[in-house]
């Protein structure tokens, strides 16, 4: 552009051929850079849409005590197992298997707090195939064994119930 300007500002009009050549060069440069297709943005995996995610989570909660498979979960939202796993992880931040294990541990926590069922019964009710897998996953997720968790939950419940006794209330002064 500066070269075209210099050529035009020369006394006597400059060399017409040089000016046209520079103008053509400038036009070609602008066309190449302004209209060139931009390289496609790096493709990111799309996350599972909220409605589909909600449907999968409801399915997981309903059938948590069964032997869930990736194919079953993918079928609930009409995707291949591969695409479902990628999209589920993009939406939740964790793979489907880890999500299911975490939900099973959460259900086991509720059962440990609120019932006197044996650990084997709780393992089966939460969807684990046996007590060993239950204990392994429970400890991996929470850092304590199911037995330790139950013991500390009972201590906390006893402490809470003692704190609510009427003897701790301030005495009332009769009128």
Q: What is the DSSP letter of 143?
A: S
- Report pLDDT for 37: 60
pLDDT digits (tens, 9 = 90+) for 157-173: 888 878 776 655 555 55
- Report pLDDT for 15: 59
The candidate with the shortest Cα–Cα distance to 60, out of 107, 121, 24, is 107
pLDDT digits (tens, 9 = 90+) for 133-144: 999 999 999 999
- Report pLDDT for 175: 55
29 CB-contact burial (10 Å; exposed 0-12 / middle 13-18 / buried 19+)? exposed
> What average pLDDT does range 83-95 have in this prediction?
95
Q: Are 93 and 105 in contact (CB under 8 A)?
A: no
Distance from C-alpha of 94 to C-alpha of 80, rounded to nearest angstrom: 18
- pTM score, two decimals? 0.66
Residue 45's SS3 state is coil
Q: Which domains does the chain have, with CATH numbers?
A: 50-160 (1.10.10.60)
Alpha-helical regions (H) of 49-174 = 50-62, 70-76, 81-92, 96-114, 119-126, 131-142, 146-163
């Amino acid at each position: 552009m500066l070269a075209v300007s210099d050529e035009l500002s020369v006394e006597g009009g400059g060399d017409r051929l040089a000016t046209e050549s520079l103008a053509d060069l400038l036009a070609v440069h602008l066309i190449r850079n302004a209209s060139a297709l931009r390289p496609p943005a790096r493709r990111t995996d799309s996350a599972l849409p909220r409605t589909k995610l909600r449907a999968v989570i409801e399915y997981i909660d309903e059938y948590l005590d069964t032997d869930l498979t990736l194919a079953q979960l993918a079928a609930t939202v009409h995707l291949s197992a591969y695409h479902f796993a990628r999209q589920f992880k993009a939406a939740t931040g964790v793979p489907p298997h880890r999500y299911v294990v975490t939900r099973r541990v959460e259900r086991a926590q509720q059962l440990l707090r609120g019932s006197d069922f044996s650990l084997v019964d709780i393992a089966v009710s939460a969807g684990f195939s046996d007590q060993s897998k239950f204990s392994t996953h429970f400890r991996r997720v929470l850092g304590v064994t199911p037995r330790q968790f139950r013991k500390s939950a009972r201590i906390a419940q006893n402490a809470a119930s003692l704190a609510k006794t009427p003897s701790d209330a301030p005495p009332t002064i009769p009128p």
